[in-house]
Structure 1
């Protein structure tokens, strides 16, 4: 079960690990948030006065007491982190970050290839000082290859990777054309691969005592999850095309129109297909030799789907879905975002978590999806304000006195959140 904010009674899987997060936007912050959810201490380094780009990616904004509230986008990938505003383009700021890296287990960054070397914050420099460090770089195209120095964004990678060529309505249909997925999936896949790779590197370090450099790329990750579509090409030679909601391999596996709404039908076995035909009063379709196997249904999909569509059209969506569930036939509705977030299954799984910023501002976040029997995910820290923890962390972690912190702030090396400043420097 999920561990509520402030509940430290149960152990966390990554207790004791320290993550130095030099990343912003989504792919790499998604990875570091996963580590934070599982118990790691995550220090997010941000540019004073600006912070993570996504703080400004609104509306909507989370209304609080600050003059510049943070955008909702920022809240999706930055819980369980502490924000330090440090300008590491200044030598004193870079020195502070290097000192923090000496105490870190993991560094996560997503700067362009070579950009951090001039500050002494590149993998080679930090790992030379801390050989146990796991340094994870997330870029658009990786550290090598002809595209290495290009900037990479999710939208571009969805197009370049082939994903958009198989997403959207097929040619000859109204609205035909390539389409991006409604979420930045290339960023999210890369963040997931980065988190998995970091955990693998931690296990390697446990055995050998040695850290390593992880090179994660959006393009690589998106190509890796082309899965059956890429294998269809590699084995069969035909270039996959856009199919709308049709499945390239499985039939029937698509949307159908009922009398009042659309539903999804997903028959993955011959038995499920035959049960659907019986439910629809068309048992002869299930007995037809053309449709007896999935291979046959795939070859003659149009002839079959026309008849299924006609049989489904008179039904009310809720009634047909209830009957399908009773008969063990996979199917479901097409929810809007508000509908799924209000769904009792989501409530039962604890996916919506209430958190409170230290100024009392409440926020609801979508939680970690895996249920752990012994080391549940936790929700300890709401997404922080920019520089909220600068003074406290520099004092506790590096032993800086209030006078030294105040001097750094006066020189613009660090930024201090106004709400936390007085308490930290007292």
Structure 2
């Protein structure tokens, strides 16, 4: 069967809603950025959603959503008892630190959440500067996606045994498990080298052009060779990627000279044409305009705006197993093929495996995942089973080797309900997991293609890493560092955001009362990232850093230490309580995220004192801080797995739990068992 997207397809393009959750009723109590995202995700996937309700207005909804991140009048213990009496099916509560923890009644703001989740600790331009703050509510929005995913996980549980489920989604854990995934892997595996963005050498960073800037990054030897050729003869003396990292200043200086004489789109076109990840630093508005110019009709505002932007293709299936296709699929029966690599798709598949799905990890023995090959490696000892990143992102999967391009290659995608990848179009076709091949089998399969810029259009072959996508989607142009200059988050954000989105799509599809079509989902990570930034479309980026007239958000340097506290004061009462704790007046603060030095303070345990007063506050953690933090460890977020190569090691597990139940046990990532 040959799939013709324009003729045989039942429908293709963007759909306002899908019918998969059409029998599910959702009630959201109150309003917040977290509830807004979760509600929009579930509505787009077909649920009947009512928002902005009072607690007394609940109907017979199967799913109730509540946000206690910013605090609540009702103590957690009383709230838990109340939910136990009222919950009829699924109740999901987003809390700051977890309803069953010692901080059950603590509050968080987006600022303190990003500090508590380790993001701001990895977004520093220097120890003397405050962290780089992304646009407002970015962390709370990400938690909204996790809330939606956890709700559908709970729906599966409720349908399996009929017992009501109360899901606790600690916002701190949600950010750690997503936005800090790589850095957390590095810390938990005790890797001696630097993790995250610090591991980049050259070329890497932002480079000024005639009309703006581009972000360029080369991590692979073949990318370096292509980059070196593009800048010939300027880099003739630098032979290998390792040489480039040893001469990073020289390489970046040559690139700066090269970009200075060209426009953003010219630099992008030349380097991407050579296979080098290079992207223009767009505003959100210019990203939308450019997307429309190449035929990708992304809408970020108005009724057509979506929480899960994607292009969807549906075709009638020729081969339908009536028993499997005409009722929801249980997680235990859900068969998922993870043909992805690096971060976005593998993390989504790991979550699905942890929820109970049968997940197979496709690997080509001749071309293993870059994370498996490059590390960083546990305690600095190399080995295919010792990669911190690979192990963090591939738990709860079984191995499936496919010798791509060889006569003995045998991949039958019809054995799976879901096939997902984030490969280049050429590689996906060679493996046999591209949408055309998968839907062409005539089976009712959900086929995912996740890429930086979408699988259709002029950018479909573009290479990108997380920071390229941040730049392209408008996140970088909307972010200011402590000097007031354009900046970026220090951790990948687009990738784990996509992981949560992919998991949401799969869970909704599995809950559908029928699946008689083959469905292709084409996800552009840049579009999904831009969907978080709609408030920047018509705004001056600097305006989001203006200090509020009543509330204040700032960083406080703890005297006698190198530690910073992120503090949010929402009103005059917060300010009065803060000043009482520190014993002095707070100076005027003119910029959101300003660094304040109050001199010597007598108080010990300042964080706990402020939390007890209802202040949204957190130390600015790094992943290594969190790996040692007694409170985070007490929540059970870090889960032990047993490995033949490493013995017992830890990974970051699912960032939610069912109240009153133990956390999910996990299995180690598939191993090659090669020294």
TM-score, normalised with respect to structure 2? 0.46
Distance change >3 Å, CA 303–CA 359, structure 1 → 2: closer
Counterpart in the other structure of 1:290? none
Residue 77 of structure 1 and its aligned partner are, at CA, apart by 0.2
Over residues 259-318 of structure 1, what are the superposed CA-to-partner deviations in whole Å (9 max), with x where a residue is unaligned? 2242221123443233324444567x89xxxxxxxxxxxxx8429999x946x4332564
Residue 232 of structure 1 and its aligned partner are, at CA, apart by 4.8
Counterpart in the other structure of 2:569? 267
> 1:152-163 to 2 correspondence within 5 Å?
152-163=464-475
Inter-partner Cα distance in structure 2 for 1:57 and 1:277: 50
* 2:354 equivalent to 1:40: no
* 2:363 equivalent to 1:77: no
Counterpart in the other structure of 2:555? 255
Counterpart in the other structure of 1:146? 458
Inter-partner Cα distance in structure 2 for 1:83 and 1:304: 48
Counterpart in the other structure of 1:136? 448
* 2:20 equivalent to 1:20: no
SS of match in other structure, 1:129: coil
* 2:366 equivalent to 1:52: no
Over residues 106-129 of structure 1, what are the superposed CA-to-partner deviations in whole Å (9 max), with x where a residue is unaligned? 111112235433554322332232
Inter-partner Cα distance in structure 1 for 2:592 and 2:441: 65
Inter-partner Cα distance in structure 2 for 1:305 and 1:121: 45
Residue 62 of structure 1 and its aligned partner are, at CA, apart by 6.2
Counterpart in the other structure of 1:169? 481
CA RMSD of aligned residues (A): 3.6
Counterpart in the other structure of 2:499? 191
* 2:590 equivalent to 1:302: yes
Kept in 1, the 8 Å contact 2:547–2:589? The answer is no
Inter-partner Cα distance in structure 2 for 1:180 and 1:305: 15
> 1:281-300 to 2 correspondence within 5 Å?
281=583
2:624 to 334, 338, 363: 338
Inter-partner Cα distance in structure 2 for 1:120 and 1:280: 62
Inter-partner Cα distance in structure 2 for 1:249 and 1:147: 43
* 2:317 equivalent to 1:31: no
* 2:509 equivalent to 1:209: no
Kept in 2, the 8 Å contact 1:158–1:186? The answer is yes
TM-score, normalised with respect to structure 1? 0.71
Counterpart in the other structure of 1:397? none
Inter-partner Cα distance in structure 2 for 1:134 and 1:332: 41
Residue 18 of structure 1 and its aligned partner are, at CA, apart by 0.9
Inter-partner Cα distance in structure 1 for 2:535 and 2:478: 14
Inter-partner Cα distance in structure 2 for 1:49 and 1:384: 16
Counterpart in the other structure of 2:258? none
Name stretches of at least 5 consecutive residues in structure 1 with no aligned partner.
2-9, 287-299, 387-416, 420-426
Inter-partner Cα distance in structure 2 for 1:142 and 1:188: 17
Distance change >3 Å, CA 267–CA 196, structure 1 → 2: same
Kept in 2, the 8 Å contact 1:88–1:97? The answer is no
Counterpart in the other structure of 1:294? none
Residue 139 of structure 1 and its aligned partner are, at CA, apart by 0.7
Kept in 2, the 8 Å contact 1:152–1:218? The answer is no
Computing the radius of gyration over CA atoms, which structure comes out larger, 1 or 2? 1
Kept in 2, the 8 Å contact 1:259–1:317? The answer is no
Residue 247 of structure 1 and its aligned partner are, at CA, apart by 6.9
Kept in 2, the 8 Å contact 1:22–1:45? The answer is yes
Q: Indicate the structure with greater helix content.
A: 1
Residue 91 of structure 1 and its aligned partner are, at CA, apart by 4.8
Kept in 2, the 8 Å contact 1:136–1:198? The answer is no
Residue 212 of structure 1 and its aligned partner are, at CA, apart by 1.3
Distance change >3 Å, CA 376–CA 116, structure 1 → 2: farther
Residue 346 of structure 1 and its aligned partner are, at CA, apart by 1.9
Counterpart in the other structure of 1:231? 535
Over residues 347-369 of structure 1, what are the superposed CA-to-partner deviations in whole Å (9 max), with x where a residue is unaligned? 22211211112457322111111
SS of match in other structure, 2:351: helix
Counterpart in the other structure of 1:378? 664
Inter-partner Cα distance in structure 2 for 1:339 and 1:266: 21
Distance change >3 Å, CA 106–CA 15, structure 1 → 2: same
SS of match in other structure, 1:328: coil
* 2:397 equivalent to 1:97: no
Q: Indicate the structure with greater strand content.
A: 2
Inter-partner Cα distance in structure 2 for 1:351 and 1:201: 27
Name stretches of at least 5 consecutive residues in structure 2 with no aligned partner.
1-99, 101-157, 162-329
> 1:315-330 to 2 correspondence within 5 Å?
315-316=601-602, 318-330=604-616
Kept in 1, the 8 Å contact 2:550–2:572? The answer is no
Kept in 1, the 8 Å contact 2:557–2:565? The answer is yes
